[in-house]
């Protein structure tokens, strides 16, 4: 089982990779969102503030009314953010719950793909 510490490290590494990626900077200039990541086992919630494709803030707290909410078991979330799992496949089989517009779902899918390519 993934620990809270591992999960936080994973999230921070992912954020660093996103922010350093020049391709994402170029293609996500208009993408500003609040994203909540919610896990079970252990129970955690984090809010990522994304401005123009750059993650500018990560807080271990909930944000009601966020543009995007991801929820799944911690090991699933960990696999997604370490590039071991395809988020859209997990969404399609119901392992990952995503509350977001179709466009935001596809953007997220691309971010994970580009970061771990």
Partner 1 sequence: MKFVVLGGAGDMGSEVVADLAQFSPESKVAIVDLRKDVAEKKAKSIGLPNIVVEQCDVNKRDDVLKILKGAQVVVNCVGPFYKYEKVILPLAIEAGTGYVDICDDHDATERALSYSDMARSNNVTALIGMGWTPGITNVLARLGSDRLDKVESINIYWVGSIADSEGLAVTKHVFHVIQGTAPSYEDHQWIDVNALSGNEDVKFPDPIGVQNAYYVGHPEPVTIPRYIKGVKNVTLKGTLLPKDINKLGKFLVDTDAVSTEKKLNAVSEFLSGDLVVLSNLFGSKDKPLPVSGLRVDVHGTKSGRQKTYSWGAIDSMSRLTGIPASIGAQMMAKGMIKQIGVIPAEACIQPEHFIEELKKRDIEIEEM
Give the binding site for partner 1 (CB under 8 A): 23, 26-31, 52, 67, 88-89, 91-92, 101-103, 105-107, 109-110, 113-114
Kindly tell me which of 61 and 103 has the beta carbon lying closer to partner 1.
103
Kindly tell me which of 12 and 101 has the beta carbon lying closer to partner 1.
101
Question: Whole-angstrom Cα distance, residue 43 to residue 26?
Answer: 35
Handedness of CA 59, 62, 66, 71 (dihedral sign): positive
**SS3 at position 55:** strand
Given a contact cutoff of 8 angstroms between Cβ atoms, the answer to whether 72 and 43 are in contact is no
Kindly tell me which of 9 and 116 has the beta carbon lying closer to partner 1.
116
Handedness of CA 20, 24, 30, 34 (dihedral sign): negative
- Please, what is the minimum distance in Å from the beta carbon of residue 67 to partner 1? 8
Kindly tell me which of 46 and 96 has the beta carbon lying closer to partner 1.
96
- Please, what is the minimum distance in Å from the beta carbon of residue 107 to partner 1? 4
Question: Whole-angstrom Cα distance, residue 116 to residue 14?
Answer: 9
- Please, what is the minimum distance in Å from the beta carbon of residue 64 to partner 1? 13
- Please, what is the minimum distance in Å from the beta carbon of residue 101 to partner 1? 6
């Amino acid at each position: 089982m993934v620990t809270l510490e591992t999960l936080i490290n994973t999230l921070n590494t992912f954020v660093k990779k996103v922010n350093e990626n020049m391709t994402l900077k170029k293609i996500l200039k208009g993408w500003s969102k609040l994203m909540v990541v919610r896990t079970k086992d252990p129970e955690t919630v984090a809010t990522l503030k994304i401005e123009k494709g750059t993650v500018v803030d990560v807080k271990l707290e909930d944000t009601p009314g966020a543009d995007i909410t991801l929820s799944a078991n911690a090991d699933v979330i960990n696999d997604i953010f370490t590039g071991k799992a395809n988020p859209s496949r997990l969404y399609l089989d119901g392992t990952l719950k995503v509350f977001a517009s179709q466009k935001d779902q596809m953007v997220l899918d691309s971010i994970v793909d580009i970061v771990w390519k």
